[in-house]
Amino acid sequence: MQETGSPASTPSEQSEELHQFARLMGIIRALRSPNGCSWDRKQTHETMGKFLLEEANEVAEAIGKQDPLHVCEELGDVTMIIAMHARIAEEKGTFSMAEVLRGIADKLIGRHPHVFGDVERGLNPDQVVDMWGKLKVEEKRLRNRLSSRMEEAGKFASALRAAWQIQAEAATVGFDFPDRAAAVAKIGEEAAEFRQDVESGTAAAQQAELGDLLFSIVNVARVLGLDPEQALRQANAKFIRRFGQLEDRLEPAGGFTGKTIQDLDAIWDAIKREEKAAAQASPSSEREPVL
């Protein structure tokens, strides 16, 4: 939808807004990083929730005092807390700041068809409020449809998280596997179909079957109460760690030059065996499965 009703702003104003917002998000990410602030790292949605209420009250108080500079400062505090909530969610793979902004922008456009759409212009405030009431009723009706909630889940930045949420929505009405064994068996079924298309199917068919296979894997994670996003992050970190060890061992002998895949596999397997032995020797509370 074209945002024809957008107020005029200069390129420099738009650039400064984008720059400062990106700067804020960069600061929040730095504070939440392993080398950031211990207090900021330990915050959760629950602990930050009370601060949002406090800062919102301080905004209202500043407005009541008609102090523009104080209002500006307090609005900054509220924005910081919103950014922190968005970063916490981004780390969990549930949503991102981009999704927060897109959601409210889409809602504003949808709620103002008399500005951005083809509804008659020049509505008075009472007519606008009446129109909003009708729009909210329709929005509520659509939200109550499971397929609509699934579509909303599909907007998540993470396709893994979206798949998990879509499956969870379907499960609320009993559209789910009877037990974990059935969910696991589905992976084998989808893997066989994917293998068949890899051997004789088109690229489009392979892509579709790969999606089905990934979807079934996420379903197993959901049924078992596991986090597929976290599992993949751990797998990524494990691969990087092992690859670093592989490079360390190859470096004295000239690196990868002249090494066959058999040579590399042998070293890789040795690294895995050593990790497994170290894990078995450590206290059980510190053990991590070695695959």
With beta carbons less than 8 A apart as the criterion, state whether 84 and 43 touch.
Answer: yes
For the beta carbon of residue 143, count every other beta carbon within 10 angstroms: 11
* CA 277/CA 270 separation, integer angstroms: 11
Q: Which amino acid is at 113?
A: P
| Percent with pLDDT over 90 in the chain | 52
Q: Is the pLDDT of residue 286 over 50?
A: no
**Nearest CA among 147, 262, 167 for reference residue 222:** 167
With beta carbons less than 8 A apart as the criterion, state whether 152 and 41 touch.
Answer: no
With beta carbons less than 8 A apart as the criterion, state whether 38 and 44 touch.
Answer: no
pLDDT band at 135 (very low <50, low <70, confident <90, very high): confident
**Nearest CA among 73, 87, 84 for reference residue 50:** 84
| Percent with pLDDT over 70 in the chain | 88
Instruction: Name the 3-class secondary structure at 287.
Output: coil
With beta carbons less than 8 A apart as the criterion, state whether 93 and 229 touch.
Answer: yes
pLDDT band at 153 (very low <50, low <70, confident <90, very high): low
Q: Is the pLDDT of residue 191 over 50?
A: yes
Greatest mean pLDDT among 58-67, 73-82, 165-174 lies in 73-82
* CA 228/CA 167 separation, integer angstroms: 13
For the beta carbon of residue 163, count every other beta carbon within 10 angstroms: 23
* CA 61/CA 189 separation, integer angstroms: 61
Q: Is the pLDDT of residue 289 over 60?
A: no
Taking the CA atoms of residue 135, residue 137, residue 140 and residue 144 in that order, the dihedral angle to the nearest 10 degrees is: -130
Q: Which residue has the tokens 């599909």?
A: 154
Taking the CA atoms of residue 230, residue 234, residue 240 and residue 245 in that order, the dihedral angle to the nearest 10 degrees is: 170
Alpha helices in 201-227 (DSSP H): 203-224
**Nearest CA among 206, 214, 169, 155 for reference residue 187:** 214
